[in-house]
Structure 1
Amino acid sequence: MKPLKILLIEDDTIEVMKFNRVIKTLEMNHHIVEANNGEEALDILMAKNETPDIIVLDLNMPKINGLEFLSILKKDPVLKYIPAIILTTSNNYKDVLECYKIGIAGYILKPLKYEDYVSRIQKLLDYWACNELISE
């Protein structure tokens, strides 16, 4: 499986550390670019230095929240094709529905147990690492 370029949009430092620890523990060779909020992520994407293969984001963030970020992303003629996966604690059905209406590629709840978190992240990244939508 090829290494992914992942844009991780998460304002919680602990969650960012946890995500990175999973990548390291599982010895995955993915490249992660971190953004603290949707505004910072848009700056990274608009710079067009490196387009990520996937975007993993939280819904509840300051400045531009996850839904606002997705709405902006999906209006861009190039960026709208980047698969965006929600990784959040919100199991609010309205959030899930709204995200799929906007055009997300997945919605994953952050589990309480670390082992479950590791398992979900591994499955998520294994899937996208072998998905044919991702170009070399």
Structure 2
Amino acid sequence: MLVVDDNEASAMTLKWAVELSGFEAMACFDGQSALKLVEEFQPAIVLLDLGMAGMSGYEVCQRLRSNPQHGAMFILAQTGWGDPQTRRRTEEVGFSDHMTKPVDLPLLMTKLHAHMEKTYGEPDL
């Protein structure tokens, strides 16, 4: 899993939380690094902040979705913006799901495990 957020404290906190739940995770703090790490490590899941400087989470998601190799990747928008317009836009650019910050960790874990089981047939990591 890859956690991407330009707020380093937020990224590292979420990374540690998902690791405690049994996932292997990496973190990075900008869109360019995210694209590079996805190509190098091929994570099944990307938790992606929307409002990053330089390259937004929208653009990162669009670039990932433009590559057919990432079709099964679960890309979750994690953002402070939860209004209907933002949710509609995340769906349009190809995000798999959308959660507002602070992320509800039990709900996040439920979503992540459900994705892994559905996609890979693995109920536990």
Bin the TM-score by the shorter chain: 0.7 to 0.9
Once residues 82 and 95 of structure 2 are traced to their aligned partners in structure 1, the CA distance between those partners, rounded to angstroms, is: 15
Q: Which amino acid aligns with 2:44?
A: D
For structure 2, the residue ranges without an aligned partner over 5 or more in a row are none
Distance 1:14 1:60 in 2: 15
How much is the aligned-residue C-alpha RMSD, in angstroms? 2.1
How far has the Cα of 1:135 moved from its partner?
A: 7.2
* Greater helix proportion: 2
The size of the alignment, in residue pairs, is 122
1:44, CA displacement in angstroms? 1.4
Q: What are the residue-to-residue correspondences of 1:65-104 with 2, within 5 Å? A: 65-104=56-95
The runs of at least 4 aligned residues of structure 1 exceeding 4 Å deviation read: none
2:106 is aligned to 119
Which structure 1 residue ranges, 5 or more long, are not aligned? 1-5
- Scaled by the length of structure 2, what TM-score is found? 0.83
TM-score by structure 1 length? 0.77
**Residue equivalent to 1:134:** 120
The 1-side partners of 2:37 and 2:17 are apart by 23
Higher relative CO (Cα under 8 Å, sequence separation at least 6) belongs to 1
